[in-house]
Structure 1
Amino acid sequence: MGQTLGDVLGFAAGVAISPLPIVAIILILATPRGRLNGSLFTIGWLVGLSALGAVMLAIGGPAGSAAGKQPATWVGGLKIGLGVLLVLFAVRQWRRRPADASQAQLPKWMAAIDRFTPVKTLGLGLALSAANLKNAPLTIAAGATISASGLPLGQQVGSLAVFVVIGSLGLLVPLAVFLLMGERARRTLGNWKDWAVRHNTAVMAVLFFVLGLKLFGDGIGILTS
C-alpha cells in the first residue's frame, strides 16, 4: 500500500494546488453565510473527488487493471492519453497568461458567488472537483493507479481516501483557518486570494506540464514493461 500511496501523492498534490477553487472558497467564506456555504462547498468538493475516484476503482476491477503484479496495458494507454491532454492544456494556459500578473481577472461567475444558495454552492464544489479540466484527469489517473496496484479492496479504498484528503487540503486549510480564527482570518485569507488570482494561470500551466509529463512517462513505462 505504501508504494501505491507514493504513486498517487503527486496527483493529490496537483489537485490540492488549484488556485481557482482556493479563491472560490475564500470568497464564499467572506459572504454572510460563509460558515455554512464554505462547509457545503468543501463537502461538494470531497464528494466529487471521492465519486470520480470510486468510479475508476469500480471500472478498474472488472476491466482487469492489474494483470498479475503489473498494470494492464489499457492503464498505460489511459495514462499516456491523460498525459498528452494535460501537456496540451499546459501550452494553452501558458499562452493565455497575462503579461502583467496584476492584470489577472477572476471568472465572471465569481462576481455572483455571494448570491449563491447553499444548494448551488454544494453543486459548485462538485463541479470544480469532478468536472475540472485539471482535477478530473488527475483523479482518473489516481483511481487507475490504485486499481492497478493489485491491493485488496479495503486498502484500495483507504488509498483513495488518502488521495481525497490530500487533494482537498487547498480548501480544508482556508476553511479551518476561518472556523478557528473567525474575523481575524479575513486579512490572511485575503492575501492568499490575491496571490492565487495573480498567479493562477502560470501555476496551472506549470502543473499541467509537469504532471502531464509524469503521466506520459508512467504510461510508457507500463507499455514497455
Structure 2
Amino acid sequence: MGTALGDVLGLAAGVAISPLPIIAIIIILGTPSGRLNGLLFTLGWVVGLFALGAVMLAIGGPAADSTPSKPAAWVGGLKLGLGVLLVLLGARQWHRRPPAGEEAELPKWMAAIDRFSPAKVLGLGVMLSAANLKNAPLTIAAGASISATAIPDAQKVATLALFVIIASLGLLVPLGVFLITGERAKAMLGNWRGWAARHNIAIMAVLFAVLGLKLLGDGIGILVS
C-alpha cells in the first residue's frame, strides 16, 4: 500500500493546487449561506474525485495483468496518453496567459455563485473535480496506478481515499479556517483569492507541463521495461 500511495502523492498534490476551485470556495464562504454551501461544495468535490477514481479501480481490477514488480502495459499506455494531453494543455494555457501585471479573466459563472442553490453548489463541486481538464486526467491516472498494484482490494480503496483527502486540501484548508475563525477569516481568504486569481493561468500552465511530463516519463518507463 505504501508503494501505491507513493505513486499517487504527486498527482494528489497536483489536484490540490487548483486555483479555480480555491477561488470558488472562497467566494462561496463569503456568501450569506457560506457555511452550508462551503460544506456542500467540498462534499461535491470529494464525491467527484472518489467516484472517478472508483470507476478506474472497477475498470482496472478485472483488466489488470500487473505483477508486484511491473505495472500492466495498459497503465503505461494510459499514462502516456494523459501525459501528452496535459503537456498540450499546458502549452495552450501558457500561450493564453495575460500580460505581466494583469489579472486573468475568471469564468462568468463565478459572478453568479452567490445565487446558486445548495444543489447547484454541490453539483459545481462535482464538476470542478471530476470534469476538470486538469483534475480528471490526474485522478484517472491515480486510479489506474492504484488498480494496477498487486495489493488487496481493501487497501486499494484505502489508498484511493487517502489520495482524495490529499487532493482536497486546497479546499479543506480555507473551509477549515472559515469554520474555526468565522468572519475573521474573510480578509485572509480574500488575499488568497486575489493571489490565486492573479496567477491562475500561470499556475495551471506550469502544473499541466510538470505533471504531464511526469506521466509521460512514467508511461514510457512502464512500456519499455
Asked if these proteins are the same fold (TM beyond 0.5), I'd say yes
Kept in 2, the 8 Å contact 1:19–1:196? The answer is yes
Query: CA 1:65 to 1:118, structure 2 compared with 1: closer, same or farther past 3 Å?
Result: farther
Contact 2:103–2:199 (Cα < 8 Å) also in 1: no
Distance 1:122 1:65 in 2: 37
Q: Which moved more, 1:99-108 or 1:157-166?
A: 99-108
Q: Which residue of 2 aligns with 1:11?
A: 11
* CA distance in 1 between partners of 2:179 and 2:206 (Å): 32
Amino acid in the other structure paired with 2:119: V
Identity %: 73
Task: Report what 1:100 is aligned to.
Answer: 100
Report the alpha carbon displacement of residue 67 of structure 1 after superposing the two structures with TM: 4.3
Gaps of 5+ in 1: none
CA drift of 1:65 comes to 4.7
With over 3 angstroms needed to count, the CA separation of the structure-2 counterparts of 1:65 and 1:182, relative to structure 1, is: farther
TM-score, normalised to structure 1, is 0.98
SS at match of 2:63: coil
Residues 5 and 159 in structure 1, CA contact (< 8 A), matched pair in contact too: yes
Q: How does 1:105-184 map to 2 (within 5 A)?
A: 105-184=105-184
Contact 1:66/1:147 (<8 A) preserved: no
Matching residue of 2:34:
34
The CA deviation at 1:179 is 0.3
1-structure distance, mates of 2:70, 2:194: 45
Aligned AA (1:162): L
Root-mean-square deviation (CA, aligned residues, Å) is 0.9
Report if the CA contact (8 A) 1:65-1:144 is conserved: no
Unaligned runs of 5+ in 2: none
- Is the CA contact (8 Å cut-off) linking 1:38 and 1:175 kept in structure 2? yes
Q: Deviations over 1:10-36 (max 9, x none)?
A: 000000000000000000000000000
Q: 2-side partners of 1:29 and 1:176: how far apart?
A: 11
Q: CA deviation at 1:76?
A: 0.5
Task: Note if contact 1:143-1:160 (Cα within 8 Å) is conserved in structure 2.
Answer: yes
Aligned residues: 225
Distance 2:53 2:9 in 1: 14
The separation in 1 between residues aligned to 2:106 and 2:201, in whole angstroms, is 11
Cα distance in 1 for residues equivalent to 2:104 and 2:62: 45
How far 1:150 sits from its partner (Å)? 1.0
One-letter identity of the residue aligned with 1:14: G
Query: How far off is 1:105 after superposition?
Result: 2.0
> 8 Å contact 2:82–2:137 — kept in the other structure?
yes
| Structure 1 position 193 matched with structure 2 position 193 | yes
Question: Partner of 2:76: helix, strand, or coil?
Answer: helix
Whether 2:208 is the aligned partner of 1:208: answer yes
1:85 aligns with 2:89: no
Deviation at 1:64, TM superposition (A): 1.6
Instruction: Describe the SS at the equivalent of 1:165.
Output: helix
Provide the TM-score with structure 2 as the length reference.
Answer: 0.98
